[in-house]
Amino acid sequence: MSGPALVVVEPGTGPGRGAELTAAARAGGHEQVVALSLSADPPAAAAADLDLVAAEPPTALDATAVAAFVDAAASAVGASSAFLPATETGTAAGAALAARRDGAFCEDVIALAVRDGALVATSGREEPLLADLALPADRFAVIAVRPGAFPPATGATAERQLAPPAAPTAAEAEDAGEVRLLESRPAAADAVAVAGVLFGIGRGVEGRDGIERVAALAAANGAAVCATRPHIATGWLGRDRLVGRSGATAAPRLYVAFGVSGASQHLVGLERCEALAAVNNDPEAAIFARADLGIVADLDDVLPVLERLLADPAS
């Protein structure tokens, strides 16, 4: 690629998100990656071992302001592309940025490759149908990357001193035009994608009371909650909690599956899970073939024990 990639790190996401975006940029043919933090406290980006653009971010993280800010930073470092997380803010800002630069935009990207000199982005926007989009080499590329889709990159880039971009004026910010958000990705989707510990709720967890009990156990132990499709269909959990082929991709250190059968449509979203524990009353459940620890029991018997042990590990 002719210029470096600019990766945009949102507040509160930690160094892991910057490292994921770096991996995406490298998959897209970039050897040099520069980080731009949307937080006034930049260590999250710096901790990802990236060059860091020193600049004061906009106080309001709306799509128009973020697009103007990233545009200025891209000009300052001579970037040929920008990589943002496919969150609500990132997707809307990415569309606005592409409009400002008359660039090419692809959202919900789950894979990238360089073929015959062209950047090809795979979008999961319409899963189960996947779209491969070849982006013109002569246009600024804006890529909104699905959280968790790329394993975090390792290794630092060369250190450089970078001049901060000029702050955009109000008139320049307005040049981005109006961006209408066609689909919202609530914050819960991001929490699921970056969770270190994730509790999964499957069909075997019965009723609202069962869901609330598992959710309370998760909250008490700093875990995020996801679900399989049956509970999303009932409306008891939002679609932002869905993990799998048509939902989020997650890479937790530990995934605890409660009443999850183990269908491939769900497990494909957990391919980078480090350890999996499963509780199911069906000894033939497919989840046990993937589990590192399996417990064959009724949830009504297991949950009280877990609640007691996790509340008081010495008991």
Distances, alpha carbon 226 to alpha carbons 13, 109, 124, 231, in Å: 18, 21, 19, 10
Q: Residue 177: its pLDDT value, please?
A: 47
Q: Residue 259: its pLDDT value, please?
A: 96
Residue stretches of the chain with pLDDT short of 50: 42-49, 54, 156-166, 176-187
Phi/psi region, residue 92 (left: phi>0; alpha: psi -120 to 50; beta: rest), is alpha
Residues in Cβ contact with 120 at an 8 Å cutoff, skipping those fewer than 6 apart? 112, 113, 114, 132, 133, 134, 135
What CA–CA distance (Å, rounded) separates 44 from 228? 31
Looking from the CA of 52 toward its CB, the CA atoms found within 13 Å total 21
Cis peptide before 128 (omega within 30 of 0): yes
Q: Residue 272: its pLDDT value, please?
A: 87
What CA–CA distance (Å, rounded) separates 262 from 276? 11
Q: Residue 186: its pLDDT value, please?
A: 44
Token pair for residue 290?
């993937």
Q: Residue 1: its pLDDT value, please?
A: 59
Q: Residue 194: its pLDDT value, please?
A: 82
Full set of structural domains in the chain with CATH = 5-174 (3.40.50.620), 187-311 (3.40.50.1220)
Q: Residue 161: its pLDDT value, please?
A: 35
State CA 302 to chain mean position distance. Answer: 31
Q: Residue 155: its pLDDT value, please?
A: 58
Q: Residue 310: its pLDDT value, please?
A: 82
Secondary structure of 137-162 as H, E, C letters = CCCCEEEEECCCCCCCCCCCCCCCCC
